[in-house]
Each structure stands twice: as C-alpha cells, then as structure tokens.
C-alpha cells in the first residue's frame, strides 16, 4: 500500500508592510497579544489535515521568528526560510524546498490570520479531484474597468466575479511546471500563484472553494483595527458552543478570586470549586483585603502560592458602581470608584504576574458594556471600565512572551447586589444570572485566548451561548 499523500502549508511572510506604515513587517504586528503570523500558524497547526508547515519569511527579519521553532507549540513547523524579492520569487523558493510531485501544497498569506478549518478542508479535499484550487468570495461591489482615457469601458457582471483570497492549493508537480514555463517568458509577472497556472497551463482547470469575509488580508492601517475587532468577535464564539450548564475541568488548578464575596465573584468561587479547583477568595468583607493595597495583595498571593505551590488563574471581580452626576458627586466617592475599578486591577496584575509566569496561567478582568460609550450618571465608572479593556489589551502583548494570558469579561446587565443597589429592582428577564457569567468566565479561563474582550449577552444566554 502506498504512503498517504502529504499536505504541506507554506506560509508566505515575505512582505515588508510599507502600506501599514508601522515600521515593521506587517506579519510581525501584534493583534490580540500575538504577531499576526502566529495567529495564522495556530490555525494551520490545529488542522488535522496539515502534515508540515514551512514559513517563507522576509529575509531581513527572519531571526524574529526563530523562537517559533522551539518547544511543542508549532510542532508541524519544520523550517523558516528566507523569501525572495517578489511574491513569485518567494513561492519558487518554497517550491524548491519541497519534495514529491503529488504532494499537496497550500500557499497561504501570513497576514490572513482568520483562515478556518473549513477552508483548509475544502482546499485539501478539492486536490483529490483537481491539481489547482483557489479560494475566493463573491464581490459585494460593482467592478468597473477603465479604458486608456480613464473612462469606464466595461462593467462586468458582478454575479460572475469573485475576490481572490488564499490559500491557493496545488499538486506540487503542477505549480512547479507552471513556474518553469513562466520563467521562459520575458514578459512574466504575476501577483498570485493561480494566475501562473491559468496563463501557462491553460489546460489545467482551477477549482474555486468558498472563502469567508473574515479571511481578510491585513494590508492597510485600517485593517489592523478591523482585525482586532474580528478577534474580539471570535473570542466570544468560544462560549457560543458553551451551554450554561457546562464547566471546564479545573482539577489540579489553583484559582484566586478578588472580590468573591457576592455577585459574579461569589458565583465564580462556587462554580470553580464545583469544577475541581482549589479556590481562594479575598475581599474586604470576608478577609479584610483591600484590593487597592499593593502590600495586602502581594501578601494574599504569596500565601496562596506557599500553601498550594502554584497559582493558575487570577480573577478580579471587585468593582464599585455609584450613580451620581459628576458635578455633584463628592470627590472622595469619585476617587474611590477610580481606585477600586482601575487602580486595583493594575495593582493585582503587577503582583500576580510572577506567579502566573511560573504556571503559564491566566488573569481575568471585568469590564462593563458602558465601556464603549460613557453613560450619564456614571461616567467615571464607564471611564474606568474602558481603562480595564485597554489594560487587558496592553498586558496581553507585554505578557505574551512569558506565556501569561489575560482576558476581559464584558457581561451585559447582570443581577447582582451591586446593580440592584444602583438601579433598584429590574425585570428579571432583562438580566443575566451571575452563574451564567461565571460559567463563561471559567471557560475562558480554561482556554488559550489572550487579549480578548468576551461579551456575554442576555439574549444569547437565553439561547445557551454568548455573542459579541
């Protein structure tokens, strides 16, 4: 019996990112706590259809990726090779490094981090019937063609038009043969690899699989902001498959909760214990712990580490919400809101990092839906919650190299004593249950997410999930 055909993913990371304008290759720009190329590699690594990954990197920056070859994180990554001056040069260098005419090759842009398993599977499966496969999506815009005078000379039928993406997939022998013919053409130039097959091997049909709108290419400065938002949307999908009764296995984990005496924090404590974790709760009402005090926080964490030998998860649910107009509120009250909601997470993050670095653990902060737009009557509260989001995103980048993850839970209106105190009784069906928010929190804690804002909505939890 012959050996099964191997599938190799080639990640094309030769770009220098001139249009992005940040002074570094665009594939190295960090979004959601990781370089874009790392997100791309994670998707390819996770596919059971990919046997090997090769990265073709901008030659001047190739050393920036050396760390990816260490450890088991990217076990399928075999080589990081220097790319060429052009896209087609880089592809040809990659093809020269591969063996076997029947080998399935997926050529994918490093700066398309949202490739999903369905696209990968469709491309690999299509290579059972075709020697060349493209990925594309319908064009939402009308496409016009300009003549030499700058006037429109054609408007193609949009229904037949597609926007090309990657991966582009080939049998190795086919794409090699196309490039061999292309090199003999003095007029040769190409912007993608299917174009080479189309022009030089016209007898080879190119099958097209459906891409996704999310499978975008990060090219322009605005794309970075769009990609960051997509990561936020995708992070919430973790809980779309998480039914309210589901808990992760937290046996052998040590969880520390600051502000766990009531509300969401108390639910996190109870459910984490139910999931098998060793849980330590600290708050002013139960342990006399002031979450704003560096000395008290440090002492609490050191005591837990001494008792259990490790700290895996730190959850900060402590918060303060007072409805009061800014001009009328006592200064002490405003400062207490800032200290509790923003300074305390900073203090706890500073003290917790060394413990989480040892365990490669995770910290979870809490924001509010008001972080996107300040609300009259509690503008300072909203401002602190926006600060918590920014803190989460910044620390995800600072801590990425140490393997420490940090995420932010954004629950919609939740039935807690703090909310009831601020707003009085509200219709029960309009509020989340604290246990539902706690379940999502623990599922995020058990995930590999970092730098994400995971939004928990009332309507979604009624259906048994979470959306952004």
pLDDT band at 310 (very low <50, low <70, confident <90, very high): very high
* pLDDT (mean) for 105-110: 97
The ranges of the chain annotated as CATH 3.90.550.10 are: 7-218
The count of residues in the chain is 468
Furthest-apart CA pair in the chain: how many Å? Answer: 82
CB 9 within 8 A of CB 373: no
The Cα 169–Cα 172 span in angstroms is 9
The Cα 258–Cα 301 span in angstroms is 10
Q: Phi and psi dihedrals of 305, rounded to 5?
A: -60, -35
CATH code: domain 7-218 is 3.90.550.10
pLDDT at res. 357: 96
Q: Say which range, 7-11, 132-136, 200-204, 421-425, has the weakest mean pLDDT.
A: 421-425
Report the 10 Å Cβ neighbour count for 385.
25
Between the alpha carbon of residue 364 and those of residues 91, 186, 255, 312, the distances in Å are: 42, 58, 11, 11
The Cα 102–Cα 319 span in angstroms is 60
Between the alpha carbon of residue 163 and those of residues 113, 128, 130, 145, 207, the distances in Å are: 17, 24, 20, 15, 14
CA 243 to chain CA mean position, Å: 21
Find where tokens 């139910």 sit. 274
Share of the chain above pLDDT 90, in %: 54
Q: Is the pLDDT of residue 243 over 80?
A: no
The ranges of the chain annotated as CATH 3.40.50.720 are: 235-463
The Cα 313–Cα 292 span in angstroms is 19
CB 320 within 8 A of CB 345: no
Dihedral in degrees, nearest 10, Cα atoms 351, 72, 93, 21: -10
Q: Phi and psi dihedrals of 301, rounded to 5?
A: -65, -40
Structure tokens belonging to residue 115? 């490739």
Greatest mean pLDDT among 10-14, 137-141, 301-305 = 301-305
Dihedral in degrees, nearest 10, Cα atoms 158, 162, 163, 168: -170
* pLDDT (mean) for 413-442: 67
Q: What is the pLDDT of residues 354-375, one digit of tens each?
A: 999 999 999 999 988 777 777 7
Q: Is the pLDDT of residue 416 over 50?
A: yes
Q: What is the pTM of this model?
A: 0.68
CATH architecture of 235-463: 3-Layer(aba) Sandwich (3.40)
* pLDDT (mean) for 435-461: 79
Q: Which of 9, 31, 1, 26 is nearest to 232 (CA)?
A: 31
pLDDT band at 240 (very low <50, low <70, confident <90, very high): very low
The Cα 137–Cα 108 span in angstroms is 16
Residues 6+ apart with CB under 8 A from 66: 80
Residues 6+ apart with CB under 8 A from 428: 415
CB 445 within 8 A of CB 406: no
pLDDT band at 462 (very low <50, low <70, confident <90, very high): very low
* pLDDT (mean) for 380-409: 90
Q: Which of 151, 286, 307, 119 is nearest to 216 (CA)?
A: 119
């Amino acid at each position: 019996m012959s050996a099964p055909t191997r599938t190799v993913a080639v990640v094309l990371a030769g770009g220098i990112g001139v249009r992005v304008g940040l002074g570094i290759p665009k594939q190295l720009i960090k979004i959601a706590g990781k370089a874009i190329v790392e997100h791309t590699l994670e998707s390819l690594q996770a596919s059971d259809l990919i046997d090997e990954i090769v990265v073709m990197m901008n030659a001047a920056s190739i050393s920036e990726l050396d760390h990816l070859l260490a450890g088991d994180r990217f076990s399928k990554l075999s080589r990081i090779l220097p790319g060429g001056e052009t896209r087609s040069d880089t592809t040809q260098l990659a093809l020269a490094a591969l063996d076997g005419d029947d080998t399935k090759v997926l050529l994918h842009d490093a700066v398309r981090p949202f490739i999903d398993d369905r696209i990968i599977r469709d491309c690999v499966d299509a290579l059972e019937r075709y020697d060349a496969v493209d990925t594309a999506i319908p064009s939402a815009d009308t496409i016009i063609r300009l003549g030499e005078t700058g006037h429109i000379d054609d408007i193609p039928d949009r229904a037949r038009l597609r926007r090309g993406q990657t991966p582009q997939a080939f049998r190795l022998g086919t794409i090699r043969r196309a490039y061999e013919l292309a090199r003999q053409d003095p007029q040769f130039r190409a912007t993608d690899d299917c174009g080479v097959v189309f022009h030089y091997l016209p007898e080879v049909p190119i099958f097209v699989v459906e891409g996704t709108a999310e499978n975008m290419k990060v090219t322009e400065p605005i794309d970075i902001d769009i990609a960051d938002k997509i990561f936020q949307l995708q992070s919430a999908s973790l809980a779309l498959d998480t039914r309210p009764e589901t808990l992760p296995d937290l046996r052998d984990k040590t969880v520390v909760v600051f502000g766990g005496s009531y509300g969401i924090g108390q639910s996190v404590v109870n459910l984490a214990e139910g999931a098998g974790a060793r849980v330590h709760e600290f708050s002013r009402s139960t342990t006399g712990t002031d979450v704003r005090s560096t000395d008290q926080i440090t002492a609490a964490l050191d005591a837990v580490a001494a008792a259990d030998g490790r700290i895996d998860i730190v959850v900060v649910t402590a918060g303060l919400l007072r409805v009061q107009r800014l001009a009328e509120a006592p200064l002490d009250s405003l400062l207490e809101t800032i200290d509790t909601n923003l300074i305390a997470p900073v203090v706890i993050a500073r003290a917790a990092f060394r413990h989480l670095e040892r365990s490669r653990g995770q910290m979870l902060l809490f924001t509010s839906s008001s972080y996107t737009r300040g609300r009259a009557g509690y503008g300072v509260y909203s401002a602190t919650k926006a600060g918590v989001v920014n803190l989460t995103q910044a620390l995800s980048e600072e801590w990425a190299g140490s393997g420490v993850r940090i995420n932010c839970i954004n629950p919609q209106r939740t039935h807690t004593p703090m909310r009831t105190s601020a707003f009085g009784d509200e219709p029960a069906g309009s509020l989340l249950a604290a246990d539902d928010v706690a379940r999502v929190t623990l599922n995020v804690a058990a995930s590999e997410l970092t730098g994400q804002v995971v939004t928990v909505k009332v309507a979604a939890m009624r259906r048994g999930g979470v959306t952004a």
